[in-house]
Structure 1
Amino acid sequence: MENGIESHDVAEDRLYTEDGTLNIHKNPASKKKTGRWKACRFILGNECCERLAYYGMSTNLVNYLHTRFHQSNATAANNVTTWSGTCYLTPLLGAFLADSYMGRYWTIASFSIIYVIGMTLLTFSAIAPGLKPSCDANGCHPTLGQTSVCFIGLYLIALGTGGIKPCVSSFGADQFDENDVTERKMKSSFFNWFYLVINIGSLVASSVLVWIQTNVGWGWGFGIPAVAMIIAIIFFFFGSKWYRLQLPGGSPLTRICQVIVAACRKAGKQVPDNKSLLYETADAESNIKGCRKLQHTNTLKFLDKAAIEAEPEHSTSWPNSWRLCTVTQIEELKSVIHLLPVWASLIAFATVYSQMNTMFVLQGNTMDQHIGPNFKIPSASLSLFDTLSVIFWAPIYDRIIVPSARKFTGHEQGFSQLQRIGIGLIISIISMIVAGILEVVRLHMVRRNNYYDLETVPMSIFWQVPQYFIVGAAEVFTNIGQMEFFYGQAPDAMKSLCAALSLTTTALGNYASTLLLFIVTKITTTHGRIGWIPDNLNRGHLDYFFWLLSVLSLLNFLVYLWISNRYTYKRTRH
């Protein structure tokens, strides 16, 4: 009889997920009725529309600021990279709210509203009388107020995207139960397809929308992305009844501070050789809501002092967390600290990637953009070849490269996440070398034919295709590997925060590009020299800038090799 009851209980347990997720009604999530690909189709649709909105507005932004707001090449490029960097910094705020209080579902929903307001304001700044800069034969003449409205719209978008970027990929991964072998394999494929739909949205943006902005008008060019963002929100809410929701685990920053304070209070105590004497809850689950227990590791031993039980604490049923922390809470902090060196080594890749929306576009502006006698392709539209590259390589990686690599490496995913990232870093170096070679050839043509004052040299812009295509290949390895790595290595109650940490590499990469461009401009324009990146690139040396990025990226890769070889992957207690 007891065995019959036990079998019934096991059968009941298998009806629900084992990772503690809930459905939208806050009941245990059904394995059959929620999650998996049935839920992810709405998340992927939402992400495709949201990325179409973002890239439709940002891809050609450097030219919008240059033409409509009369900004120089360097100023426009700096404004774009600074704003873009902010878009990847605000996710820290959104991730904190998601992990601590709101959960990923409500964070995405709330910040999407801010996003739409920003897109609407930006659209009005391009079409509304009084908000739109006046233009004549001598160019456009924006007022301070008009510039302010434009940038308020842009930074509202930056705030809105801060609640979406760190949560959507993690929310999609939440739809697969980590404790189910079949679903765990699906999760790895999810990140590939997630990045693929991002680039499908980007493809439409960099081709159709950039053409509309250049040939029809900025009002339509920004209005369509605003509508796309509204559609993204509708997509997201339609899937609500199929979603699996992770409970917010409370403030991760508070838990981190508690470990540091408790360890410092016991700085004079000795950590016992028998690590089983360190404090941990007796329950099967940890005391952090929605987080599995983590195994003790022998690194960062000073933090272990936070789990040493003193006599008064040992006799207390509910110890003060500022005096005594669990092993899981300590390992949570260790996991984040271990991620930081890998995180820092990815900033250089983000710096290279940011050149697509700045220096690649400005380089393309100096080349022949005609296809036939009548059609002219905007230089910003060349980024569609980066997108096509991702669309080409993502399924090939998932269906061909992984199974082939699995035979040689024995790894379930073909390559470990760190190996995948490293391959992408190598490919990114090649992209900068190819861009530099193209600029050398272009400048040679300028000097040989005295084309210094020509707006565009008679050299097809499609010579830029290889550098865009190679950057796309680097993305498939580095960006997707990075997303999967930070999600997989993050503690359960810090998934959004670690996803945001991953995104800040893009923010810092954009800021690093801005700083590097500022330093290069300052140094190379001293004593009356023209400099590497003047308004007339025919008289500059953009190739030197690409060589500099190549060298810095190579040095960064060597550091990354050392870091990745020393990294130990997280282990959970099942």
Structure 2
Amino acid sequence: MSTAPVAPDAGRMPRQIAYIIGNEACERFSFYGMRNILIPFLISSMLLAYLPAGPEREGAAKDIFHSFVIGVYFFPLLGGWLSDRYFGKYNTVLWFSLIYCAGHACLALFEDSRNGFYTGLFLIALGSGGIKPLVVSFCGDQFDQTNKSKAKVVFDAFYWIINFGSFFASLLAPLLLRSYGPAVAFGVPGVLMFIATVVFWLGRKQYVNVPPSGRDPDSFLNVVRTALRGSAGQGGSGTLIARTGIALAVLMLALWALDATGVPLPWPDSFGFVITACLALGVVIACVGWGASLQLERARGLHPDAAVDGVRAVLRILIVFALVTPFWSLFDQKASTWIIQGNAMLIPHEAWWWPSWLVKEAAQMQALNPLLVMLLIPFNNLVLYPLLRRMGFTVTALRRMGWGIVFSGVAWIAAGVLQLWLDGGAEVSLAWQSLPYLLLTFGEVLVSATALEFAYSQAPHAMKGVIMAFWYLTSTFGSLWVLLTNAGVRNDAVTSAIASTGLSENAFLMFFFALFAFVAALAFAAYARRYPMQDNYRVSGGVAA
């Protein structure tokens, strides 16, 4: 792809943003359309017919769903690396979009085939994950110092349009599944993904295309490698920590592999490959990052100061990201745990205010989330934040994210109270789920919408694709906490301990996740007080596709 200098209109909104926003709207409809019917489909499909109906099948469906989510938010690492190193954002997004379309086709064609359907889920996870870190940063590349004030408006609009697509997908996909079956319900999102790919392709001649960095000798990984190089016995405590982490990760994978072949080893049977691989990845990231931070000055002189300082900035950002992972463990369960809870509730069709002509399934309550986002983003920007500033409160990105984690915990307390009513034998109206959805969505706007701007502005120029991939990896570890918790409650000792509290397993876990969020919010606040903010927007000028 040829490149040429482009002089953007000073202070104006780039025209090509319309193609990126249009692509995102269709892609989000396709993703949420299939994602939001995945749990209802799995519970009722032949794929899990070998399990008895009830908690066991529901638990298996949740495991499949959260394993899929882990894949979706793991593959941004691959997409970010390919984009930054070899192909650039435009080419990488286009090619992964074609894989994405193939995944949707598999879901529509192989509804009764376990291998075919799971292949489709894998391809969607690969395609969706591959483009996920790039579309936002590609959008940011269209701005420079002359019009960066418009970037915040676009990031908010970007998040708004994501939820515009999600809103209609959440309403319509369950109805398509109910009325026309899985082939149509999964096929329609596939058509939308194809349209998204075409819309993105149509803007190819207008995009600002920042070329890939290629084999950068001063890349993040090369600087880290230099910092950790040498003998652990020569004052290299960081090297020892990094090597220990890698050894632990290899040991975890080896124990899983041997356990899978029937060798009796002290490795939990419920820790399958997905859990084990994620734990190993987490150990490597934590130990290598910690070790590198202790010895980063070793790289100074062998790499430019800007590269070394950029790595230190990335390592600080990764700590922020790690502290956000509990939020995603709560948020992503609205498409699994909350749907299962909603199925046990009474849909108030007899109430005059209930839209019975439209809302017929508990899964459709998920449409509240994107609808509330579309309302809360302008409310926050036009009313709440200006009001707080007039009252003397500084509304920083990190403060918004910390309070967002708190509100997610409050949402799960509300969901837990509803579960107590259900456990007590009461007939609970599905309308009551509106309260936890409102609280969780307010938390989401504070965390996720803010993080899009935060992650782009904090990332050094050569590492924007990778840092966005690490941001999306927070959702992988969020779902990992869910899988670990689900695996834990299958232990007889844990089940007995929960029973001794007088709470049902569902209610106990809801209050547990609320507490998890509150602890994470405290840790986040403590770290945010020391975080040094950066400004890494592109300088004036650029290159176009």
Q: 1:253 to 1:190 in 2, by over 3 A?
A: farther
Q: Which amino acid aligns with 2:86?
A: Y
Question: How much does 1:247 deviate?
Answer: 1.5
Q: Which amino acid aligns with 2:323?
A: S
Measured in 2, the distance between the counterparts of 1:222 and 1:239 equals: 27
Q: 1:206 to 1:489 in 2, by over 3 A?
A: same
The C-alpha deviation readout for 1:25-54, integer Å capped at 9, x for no partner, is 400123139983421111111011101000
Instruction: Indicate the RMSD between aligned Cα atoms, in angstroms.
Output: 2.8
Question: How much does 1:88 deviate?
Answer: 0.5
CA contact (8 A) 2:96 2:130 kept: yes
CA contact (8 A) 2:403 2:521 kept: no
Q: 1:121 to 1:441 in 2, by over 3 A?
A: same
Match of 1:64 in 2: 41
Measured in 1, the distance between the counterparts of 2:480 and 2:298 equals: 38
Please list every run of 5 or more consecutive structure 1 residues that lacks an aligned counterpart in the other structure. Answer: 1-23, 127-131, 133-145, 270-298, 309-323, 447-457, 533-538
Q: 1:355 to 1:260 in 2, by over 3 A?
A: closer
Q: 1:252 to 1:495 in 2, by over 3 A?
A: farther
Measured in 1, the distance between the counterparts of 2:418 and 2:229 equals: 60
Match of 1:155 in 2: 122
Residue 169 in structure 1 maps to residue 141 in structure 2: no
CA contact (8 A) 2:293 2:312 kept: yes
Match of 1:443 in 2: 423
Question: How much does 1:175 deviate?
Answer: 1.1
Which TM-score applies when normalising by structure 1? 0.76
Measured in 2, the distance between the counterparts of 1:76 and 1:364 equals: 15
Q: 1:251 to 1:346 in 2, by over 3 A?
A: farther
Alignment of 1:90-169 (within 5 A): 90-126=75-111, 132=112, 146-169=113-136
Measured in 1, the distance between the counterparts of 2:161 and 2:150 equals: 16
Question: How much does 1:499 deviate?
Answer: 0.7
Q: Which amino acid aligns with 1:169?
A: V
Residue 491 in structure 1 maps to residue 474 in structure 2: no
Residue 340 in structure 1 maps to residue 333 in structure 2: no
CA contact (8 A) 1:99 1:252 kept: no
Measured in 2, the distance between the counterparts of 1:36 and 1:48 equals: 19
CA contact (8 A) 2:376 2:445 kept: yes
CA contact (8 A) 1:386 1:470 kept: no
Measured in 2, the distance between the counterparts of 1:29 and 1:38 equals: 13
Please point out which of 13, 19, 34 is paired with 1:42: 19
Measured in 2, the distance between the counterparts of 1:524 and 1:195 equals: 43
Question: How much does 1:215 deviate?
Answer: 2.5
Question: How much does 1:306 deviate?
Answer: 2.2
Measured in 2, the distance between the counterparts of 1:563 and 1:551 equals: 19
The C-alpha deviation readout for 1:465-514, integer Å capped at 9, x for no partner, is 11112111111110011221111111111111111100011111012111
Question: How much does 1:105 deviate?
Answer: 0.8
Q: 1:468 to 1:491 in 2, by over 3 A?
A: same
Measured in 2, the distance between the counterparts of 1:35 and 1:239 equals: 18
Measured in 1, the distance between the counterparts of 2:84 and 2:299 equals: 23
Bigger share in helix = 2
Q: Which amino acid aligns with 2:326?
A: A
Q: Which amino acid aligns with 1:357?
A: A
Q: Which has the higher contact order (CA 8 A, sep 6+)?
A: 2
Q: 1:34 to 1:554 in 2, by over 3 A?
A: closer
The C-alpha deviation readout for 1:213-247, integer Å capped at 9, x for no partner, is 12221111111100000110111112222211111
Measured in 1, the distance between the counterparts of 2:309 and 2:384 equals: 34
**Secondary structure of the residue that 1:367 maps to in structure 2?**
coil
CA contact (8 A) 2:36 2:363 kept: yes
Q: 1:407 to 1:244 in 2, by over 3 A?
A: farther
The C-alpha deviation readout for 1:33-90, integer Å capped at 9, x for no partner, is 9983421111111011101000100111011111112250100011101111110011
Q: 1:224 to 1:545 in 2, by over 3 A?
A: same
Measured in 2, the distance between the counterparts of 1:571 and 1:112 equals: 31
Match of 1:188 in 2: 152
Task: Pick the structure with greater CA Rg.
Answer: 1
CA contact (8 A) 1:33 1:242 kept: no
CA contact (8 A) 1:266 1:305 kept: no
Match of 1:289 in 2: none
The C-alpha deviation readout for 1:316-365, integer Å capped at 9, x for no partner, is xxxxxxxx211111112111111121111011000000110111000001
Question: How much does 1:260 deviate?
Answer: 3.6
Measured in 1, the distance between the counterparts of 2:492 and 2:89 equals: 45
Measured in 2, the distance between the counterparts of 1:301 and 1:435 equals: 43
Match of 2:253 in 1: none
Q: Which amino acid aligns with 1:462?
A: A
Match of 2:220 in 1: 256
Q: Which amino acid aligns with 2:128?
A: T
Match of 1:428 in 2: 408
**Secondary structure of the residue that 1:506 maps to in structure 2?**
helix
Alignment of 1:442-521 (within 5 A): 442-446=422-426, 458-521=427-490
Question: How much does 1:523 deviate?
Answer: 4.2
Measured in 2, the distance between the counterparts of 1:253 and 1:397 equals: 43
The C-alpha deviation readout for 1:418-464, integer Å capped at 9, x for no partner, is 11111211111110111011111222235xxxxxxxxxxx4321111
The C-alpha deviation readout for 1:136-158, integer Å capped at 9, x for no partner, is xxxxxxxxxx1111000110010
Q: 1:204 to 1:63 in 2, by over 3 A?
A: same
Question: How much does 1:396 deviate?
Answer: 1.5
CA contact (8 A) 2:219 2:462 kept: no
The C-alpha deviation readout for 1:264-287, integer Å capped at 9, x for no partner, is 568989xxxxxxxxxxxxxxxxxx
Q: Which amino acid aligns with 1:438?
A: L
Please point out which of 352, 367, 378 is paired with 2:361: 378
Question: How much does 1:400 deviate?
Answer: 2.5
Match of 2:372 in 1: 389
Measured in 1, the distance between the counterparts of 2:181 and 2:393 equals: 54
Match of 2:298 in 1: 305
Alignment of 1:531-550 (within 5 A): 540-550=504-514
CA contact (8 A) 2:218 2:304 kept: no
Q: 1:438 to 1:410 in 2, by over 3 A?
A: closer
Q: Aligned pair count?
A: 466
Measured in 1, the distance between the counterparts of 2:443 and 2:21 equals: 22
CA contact (8 A) 1:389 1:470 kept: no
Please point out which of 67, 70, 76 is paired with 1:82: 67
Please point out which of 240, 255, 259 is paired with 2:204: 240
Residue 398 in structure 1 maps to residue 374 in structure 2: no
Q: Which amino acid aligns with 1:356?
A: K
Which TM-score applies when normalising by structure 2? 0.80
Q: 1:263 to 1:78 in 2, by over 3 A?
A: closer
Measured in 2, the distance between the counterparts of 1:252 and 1:160 equals: 26
Measured in 2, the distance between the counterparts of 1:476 and 1:95 equals: 24
Question: How much does 1:173 deviate?
Answer: 1.3
